Amino acid sequence: MNSSTTLYNLGELTRLGSTDGPLQRLHPAAKLFTTILFIVVVMSFGRYTLSALLPFLLYPVVLATVGNIPPASILRKVALALPFALCIGIFNPFLDTNPVLYIGTLPISGGILSFCSILFRLFLTVSATLALIGITGFYTLCAFLPRMGVPRIFANQLLFLYRYLFVLLEEASRMERARNLRTFSKKGLGLRVYAQLLGHLLLRTFDRAERIHQAMLCRAYTGSLPLAPLPPFGIRDLLFCLAWGLFFLLARVYDLPQLLGHILSFWI
Amino acid sequence: MHMADALISPVTGGILWAVSAALLTVSSQRMRACFDSRLIPLMGVLGAFIFAAQMINFTIPGTGSSGHLGGGLLLAILLGPYAGFLTITSVLTIQALFFADGGLLALGCNIFNLGFFPCFVVYPFLYKPLAGLSPTRKSLSIACVVGAIASLQLGAFSVVLETVASGITELPFASFALLMQPIHLLIGLVEGLVTAAVVTFIYNARPDLLQLSGKTKTWSIGKLAATFALLALVVGGFFSSFVSSDPDGLEWSIQNLTGKEELPAPDAAPYNTLATLQEKTAIMPDYAFREPAISEEMPAHTTPPAPSTETSDMSTAESTGSLPTLDTATGMAGLTGGVLTLILTLLLGFFLRRRARHE
């Protein structure tokens, strides 16, 4: 992962979370629970399911378009998430070669079907999660977590980590650039220099933590951070949850594309 | 080796969510019990440090590849098990949300694989005894390397178990384990060397920092053993009752609700989930292929359970349960309908985007 692209991508999603829009104004609980429901329903299908999963594309597409998230930023991250699922799923076509489906006379094996299913589900789950964070924003999400019963110390930890992520990523990318400029024909890119770089970064990190702590004490820190206020859970939020819940139920019970195909063939 | 949402079933994900949530609660309570306000910013900044460290690569001599730090064990060493666990959990959460590394459903699995093992198994039982009460450079290095290898082996094995229990992939247990463990032996060795180098650097420069972790209390062996036994019982019980009979938890619960154990017939079997409800679709006039007689008449299209999955009961159960028997019409209907659905969805997306632009 290139350092500058990492920074850019991270900042991109944050910026999106702070913009205003109909989806951004929804309560974080509505968006979080609907997205979790979405992922659970998508993953609850059998392993050979493909066509019944297609309608679920609607959810990330609507979130991304209404939320004004550029599709390219989501697609880039899906590509980053691909390798592991690819490594594990790639065995399916070789291990399961029974033809289960005929398109015309072309047999499709169960392995290929389940492999495609894994890849499509990866796309669905990853894009839904990224769209969720894009339209919710991390600070709002963290403000909601303790109200849901997540330990407060953990919500604080997430906020802290997120706040200093940018600072330390920038520092590390400066160090990396400095090292790369001083290395010739790969000399100095090995473990020795790397460990010393990390060690120094770690020492600086400890010092930074100490300074932050002092600054916090000066500002009357008592052990926990105040939470940002959240709007009440309104009728719009409820409607959002119910409408999507109903759609997920419908798409889970009926294989909508299959139905559509049959209606078409019936007419023609 | 972050698990992805696309590879786990809701039951497996849910169980590990519950386990990880419990661990998170216990760790938070422990932290509150011996509260040190210095730790709060330190944990946050060290979590950010892990990200920053992962951004810098180093080349592994002799190979073309590069390695970087994983961080679970290093956090446990610097912060102690509880604060270390909270920190690695927060790192994994941000990775899941922003970097698409893992996912929301798989977060529980990832916390368990990459957080629980280094913080609560390797650190107290392997790292501490190996490093000794008054650590030297050598004992620290050995403890780090052995600890990192052990945490990655345990984590990789856990990934294998979770994947096989989820039944999304075809991989049989034994060969998957044989694939994963050696790879992670190498990754563990690299990670161990990096951790050892960083820890000895800190040991030379600021040895007092390594004492920080000594402040948090460690559990007594008996208490830990009892917790493990309970955890094993709960997880094992859940897994055997849910997963081995049928990896699809939703299906399982629906079957229990409706009281029907088996599908009436191998109809459009890839879509056999929620079978009883789906029966309703049979009112469609063109659904002749859904009648059971069809599949018996067409033995050429019926497929026996995959022989390769016989090594594992779970996957065999899944295969026989959902191996589809389909004819051409179904395939074509699924294809045309699928393409149409995609087009409709994308058109809707474009329409919404244009509207959003106009506003």
Residue B91 neighbours by CB distance under 10 Å = 29
Interface test with A, best of B12, B34, B40, B184 (most A CBs within 10 A): B40
Which is more confident, A226 or A120? A120
Q: Could you identify the residue written with the tokens 């501490």? A: B128
Answer yes or no: do A258 and A131 share one domain. Answer: yes
**A175 and A241, same domain (yes or no):** no
pLDDT in tens, A179-234: 888 888 777 777 888 888 889 999 999 999 999 999 988 988 877 777 778 888 88
Do the beta carbons of residue B106 and residue B5 sit within 8 Å? yes
pLDDT one-digit tens code per residue, A53-89: 999 999 999 998 888 888 888 888 888 778 777 887 8
CB contact under 8 A, B198 and A161: no
Do A57 and A177 belong together in one domain?
no
Distances (CA, A) of A241 to A232, A254, B5, B15, B137: 15, 20, 21, 24, 57
Task: Indicate the pTM of the whole model.
Answer: 0.76
Interface of A with B in 63-82 (CB under 8 A): 64-66, 68, 77-78, 80-81
Name the token pair of B61. Answer: 């001599």
Q: Does residue B275 lie in a domain region?
A: no
Which of B56, B104, B277 has the CB atom closest to A39's CB atom? B104
- Chain A residues with CB-CB distance to B337 below 8 A: 51, 256-262, 264
pLDDT one-digit tens code per residue, B100-128: 777 889 999 999 999 999 999 999 998 98
- How many structural domains does chain B have? 2
Q: What is the pLDDT of residue B243?
A: 39
Query: What amino acid is encoded at A232 in this protein?
Result: P
Share of chain B above pLDDT 90, in %: 23
Phi, psi of B224 (to 5 degrees): -65, -45
Nearest CA to A198 out of B53, B148, B77, B75 is that of B53
Q: Which two tokens stand for residue B230?
A: 């309970």
Transcribe B120-162 into DSSP letters: IIIIIIIIHHHH-SS--HHHHHHHHHHHHHHHHHHHHHHHHHH
At B3-19, the pLDDT tens digits run 888 888 999 999 999 99
What total of structural domains would you count in chain A? Answer: 2
pLDDT over threshold 70, residue B357 = no
How many residues does this entry show for chain A? 268
Stretch A117-127: mean pLDDT: 91
Q: Which amino acid is at B304?
A: P
Specify if A171 maps to a domain. yes
Q: Do residue A82 and residue A194 come from a single domain?
A: no
Asked if A161 and B171 come within 8 Å (Cβ–Cβ), the reply is no
In this prediction, residue B207 has a pLDDT band, given cuts at 50, 70 and 90, of confident
Joined together, the tokens standing for residue B315 give 């996957």
* pLDDT at site B272: 42
The HSE-up count of residue B350 (CA atoms within 13 Å, CB side) is 6
In tens, the pLDDT along B152-161 reads: 999 989 989 9
Q: What is the DSSP string of B246-301?
A: -S-HHHHHHHHHHT--S-SS-SSGGG-TTHHHHGGGGGSTTGGGGSHHHHHH-TTT
Its domain, for residue A188, covers 151-232
Average model confidence (pLDDT) across chain B: 71
A86–B contact, CB cutoff 8 A: no
- For residue B62, give the chain A residue with the closest CA: A190
Alpha-carbon distance B304 to B313, whole Å?
A: 15
Residue matched to tokens 């997963």: B243
A249, with CB counted inside 10 A (0-12, 13-18, 19+), is middle
Q: Please answer yes or no on whether B306 and A164 come within 8 Å at the CB atom.
A: no
Domain residues for B150?
Answer: 5-243
ipTM of the complex: 0.88
Do A16 and A45 fall within a single domain? yes
Q: The domain that contains B221 carries what CATH number? A: 1.10.1760.20
Chain B residues 243-272 within an 8 A CB cutoff of chain A: 248-251, 268-272
Question: Of the candidates A47, A3, A236, A262, which has an alpha carbon nearest to the alpha carbon of residue B163?
Answer: A47
Q: Of B243, B261, B285, which marks where a domain is finished?
A: B243
Query: Which residues from chain A sit within 8 angstroms of residue B318, using beta carbons?
Result: 46-47
Residue B142 or B343, more confident: B142
**pLDDT per residue as tens digits for the range A234-248:** 899 999 999 999 999
For residue A143, tell me if it sits in a domain.
no
pLDDT value for B317:
39
Count of positions (residues) in chain B: 359
Amino acid at B264: P
Taking only the tens place, the pLDDT of each residue in B244-283 is 333 333 334 334 444 444 333 334 433 344 444 444 433 3
A219 and A238 share one domain: no
Across chain B, the runs of DSSP E, i.e. the strands, are 58-59, 66-67
Is A128 within a domain?
Answer: yes
- pLDDT surpasses 70 at B140: yes
* From A3, A92, A159, residue closest to B55, measured CB to CB: A3
The secondary structure of chain A in percent helix, strand, coil, rounded to multiples of 5, reads 75, 5, 20
In a domain, B319, yes or no: no
Q: Burial level of A104, CB count in 10 A (0-12/13-18/19+)? A: exposed
| Contact between residue B189 and residue B145 where contact means Cβ atoms under 8 Å apart | yes
Bridge partners of residue A102, in order along the sequence? A107
